Chain A
Amino acid sequence: MNELANVVELHGVYKAIYDHDILHDIHLEVREGEFLTLLGPSGCGKTTLLRLISGFEEPTQGSILIDHKNVVGLPPHRRHVHTVFQSYALFPHMTVFENVAFGLRCQQVPRQEIHTRVMDVLKMVKLEKYPERKPHQLSGGQQQRVAIARAAVNRPRVLLLDEPLSSLDYRLRKTMQIELKQLQRTMGITFIFVTHDQEEALSMSDRVVIMQEGTIEQIGTPREVYEEPRNLNVAKFIGEVNIFDGEIHYIGENKQATIHLLDKKRSAKTSRSFTPGEKIHVLIRPEDVRVWNQHEVNDTTDMFAGTVEEVTYKGTTVDLIVRLANNMTIAATEFFDEDDDRLEYKIGEQVWVSWTPGWEVLLPYEV
């Protein structure tokens, strides 16, 4: 990718507090205009990373570049990035207008210009009718938008959002996710978004940065991290996944491979370089697993025999747990199809389990 389009770069960044490592050797490049999400469980360091970029914390080591300038040591307000806090942090004694205008006033922008810019950005967040209201007179979603407006009006290079939606209820959250995405496209500002909710991250982002315990596990598009997880951590964090131990039998060209799995040989696909005999993990997502009735199939050479152990109807899907021949279980999710009346499963039923070769992911064996 064109290096000049990187608006934020982190190189070799470490952050430790009292000998406790919070961030470890972070390398990150954020592209201009993208919606980037930092995703990870609590304590993984994503908020700290955000604060390093915004300037509220300083790295122990490494450099942070904004527009190719090293900003380490520069205070927050001189970095041309602004933060939207989880609690919104609106000034309770100021009106919506005064809140949004605050940053501009601090920079002593002329009054007329303040007025134009504030009203413009309020229009963008659809709050142009409420400039005189106080924060406590607004709903949660509206306060959110004021917080975004307040940060955006200063035309930052990057907008940093620290779990802005986690205090909203489910419905409002879903609405705001769509709104935020649209807002980002309209404004054209780079967003760096922090969340622990993987569904949120996948649905909103151009790219996702998956973090665990202070390190970046993988960076990629939502599709990439979901379908091609780099390691077990990532795979387990995003969505549900079945994990089996297996062995490489043969590596061919064009990503073809044959693997030993559960006493059977199967074809698979992988772009990694493995050596024959190498132990691997085989990952398959439940929704990629197909479950067949005894009578429905003829050729079961590539299939695994099993007994249905649990059935959960979930409205749009049926979740199954099937116990396989060697006492392992596999989770399968089948989608209801109105024409298909096959999807009646009974506990104890004998079934065949399979998936399309290539839909699995092969990973090097981890202890």
Chain B
Amino acid sequence: MKLKSLITPYLGFIYLFFYIPIIVLIVYSFNNAQYSLLWHGFTWQWYSELFIDTDLWIAAYHSLALGIAAATLATMIGTLASVSIYRYRFLGRPILNALVFILILSPEIVIGVSLITLFTICNVPLGFISLLLSHTSFCIPFVIVTLYSRLVSFDKNIFEAAKDLGANDRLILTRIILPLLWQALLASWLLSFTLSLDDVIISYFVAGPEFEILPLKIYSMVRSGIKPEINALCTVLFAITFILVGLSQLALRKKA
């Protein structure tokens, strides 16, 4: 009885906990003052400074290109992987299952460290290539999990029926699996894209000195102290992610 009336304020408190820092950030990005906490009036100044910061644009462009490439590659490989795991019985299948599970739970730092070791030993140039390979690799397990959980919701007999009626594996993939899966594919792509855009730890290790990407740029900016420009940048990025998440959830929620 008494407990029930506490629920709403409690829930509200937690939601505030989540969102206040973000709201504060957004608000201050429009604050007409460099360091003060007090409101000095609305301004677009920091956004315009953002706009002319070419370094940031380059980093942003790099992150975007990387994200799109990694998401696409990861989705393609992940699709083949999840479909194969679902449909075929093959030697080592439980190992692959376990591997996916392990990769998702692996600390990013161990992944980052192991990849830089690999790249150094194999003389892989540190830059777009090393980043692409790394980002694709850590996205693939998430794609697999997303797609697989969708695949198991299908009637298994559908594939046998298709085979019975004359479809080969390629046709089954294109005419049955992909059309049924397209929302999960979209959600996987968006998920991978977001993961790539936001990745700090792995990129920290495998990005070379020359290829600037946004998260690392922000990291170095943040370490050197608060600048209102950062607030503006963060607000923009937050807005983009917000939209992407919304899209991804919409895609997943639409009725099949």
CA of A106 to CA of B171 in the docked complex: distance in angstroms?
8
Answer yes or no: B81 CB below 8 A from chain A CBs: no
Given contacts A92-B180, A92-B256, A93-B179, contact A77 B157 (CB under 8 A): no
Q: Are B165 and A77 in contact (CB under 8 A)?
A: yes
Answer yes or no: A195 CB below 8 A from chain B CBs: no
Taking the nearest CB of chain A, how far is it from the CB of B93, in angstroms? Answer: 17
Contacts of B160 in A (CB 8 A): 56, 76, 83, 85, 89
Taking the nearest CB of chain A, how far is it from the CB of B222, in angstroms? Answer: 47
Answer yes or no: A157 CB below 8 A from chain B CBs: no
Within 8 A of B (CB), among A61-82: 75-77, 82
Answer yes or no: B166 CB below 8 A from chain A CBs: yes
Answer yes or no: B162 CB below 8 A from chain A CBs: yes
Answer yes or no: B163 CB below 8 A from chain A CBs: yes
Taking the nearest CB of chain A, how far is it from the CB of B71, in angstroms? Answer: 24
CA of A139 to CA of B153 in the docked complex: distance in angstroms?
20
Q: Are A93 and B165 in contact (CB under 8 A)?
A: no
Q: Are B157 and A89 in contact (CB under 8 A)?
A: yes
Contacts of A103 in B (CB 8 A): 165-166
Taking the nearest CB of chain A, how far is it from the CB of B220, in angstroms? Answer: 48
Q: Are B166 and A89 in contact (CB under 8 A)?
A: no
Q: Annotate B153-167 by CB proximity to A: 1 below 8 A, 0 otherwise.
A: 011011011111111
Contacts of B124 in A (CB 8 A): none
Q: Are A154 and B165 in contact (CB under 8 A)?
A: yes
Give the residue name and chain of the A residue nearest to B160 (CB). A56
Given contacts A91-B176, A92-B256, A93-B256, contact A106 B166 (CB under 8 A): yes
Q: Are B163 and A77 in contact (CB under 8 A)?
A: yes
Contacts of A107 in B (CB 8 A): 166
Contacts of B179 in A (CB 8 A): 93
Taking the nearest CB of chain B, how far is it from the CB of A362, in angstroms? Answer: 45
Interface on chain A toward B: helix, strand, loop, or mixed SS? loop
CA of A154 to CA of B176 in the docked complex: distance in angstroms?
19
Q: Are A102 and B165 in contact (CB under 8 A)?
A: yes
Q: Are A93 and B180 in contact (CB under 8 A)?
A: yes
Q: Are B158 and A91 in contact (CB under 8 A)?
A: yes
Q: Are A82 and B165 in contact (CB under 8 A)?
A: yes
Q: Annotate A94-128 by CB proximity to B: 1 below 8 A, 0 otherwise.
A: 00000000110011000000000000000000000
Q: Are A76 and B164 in contact (CB under 8 A)?
A: yes
Give the residue name and chain of the A residue nearest to B159 (CB). A89
Instruction: Give the most central of B165, B176, B179, B256: most A CB within 10 Å.
Output: B165
Contacts of A85 in B (CB 8 A): 157, 160-161
Residues of chain A at interface, number, CB under 8 A: 24
CA of A86 to CA of B180 in the docked complex: distance in angstroms?
21
Q: Are B180 and A54 in contact (CB under 8 A)?
A: no
CA of A83 to CA of B161 in the docked complex: distance in angstroms?
7
Instruction: Give the most central of A54, A55, A83: most B CB within 10 Å.
Output: A83
Give the residue name and chain of the A residue nearest to B167 (CB). A106
Contacts of A89 in B (CB 8 A): 155, 157-158, 160-161
Contacts of B180 in A (CB 8 A): 91-93
Contacts of B162 in A (CB 8 A): 91, 102
Answer yes or no: A218 CB below 8 A from chain B CBs: no
Contacts of B176 in A (CB 8 A): 91, 93
Q: Are A83 and B158 in contact (CB under 8 A)?
A: no
Give the residue name and chain of the A residue nearest to B255 (CB). A136
Contacts of B175 in A (CB 8 A): 102
CA of A82 to CA of B164 in the docked complex: distance in angstroms?
6
Contacts of B256 in A (CB 8 A): 92-93
Taking the nearest CB of chain B, how far is it from the CB of A166, in angstroms? Answer: 14
Give the residue name and chain of the B residue nearest to A79 (CB). B164
Contacts of A92 in B (CB 8 A): 154, 158, 180, 256
CA of A89 to CA of B176 in the docked complex: distance in angstroms?
12
Answer yes or no: A269 CB below 8 A from chain B CBs: no
Give the residue name and chain of the B residue nearest to A162 (CB). B157
Give the residue name and chain of the B residue nearest to A103 (CB). B165
Give the residue name and chain of the A residue nearest to B161 (CB). A89
Contacts of A354 in B (CB 8 A): none
Within 8 A of A (CB), among B132-179: 154-155, 157-158, 160-167, 171, 175-176, 179
Question: What would 18 A/B residue contacts be, using CB atoms closer than 8 Å?
Answer: A75-B163, A76-B163, A77-B163, A77-B165, A77-B167, A83-B161, A87-B155, A87-B157, A89-B158, A91-B162, A91-B180, A92-B256, A102-B162, A102-B175, A103-B166, A106-B171, A150-B165, A151-B164
- Residues of A in contact with B (beta carbons under 8 Å apart): 54-56, 75-77, 82-83, 85-93, 102-103, 106-107, 150-151, 154
Known A-B contacts: A92-B158, A92-B180. Give 5 more (CB < 8 A). Answer: A56-B160, A56-B163, A89-B158, A102-B162, A103-B166
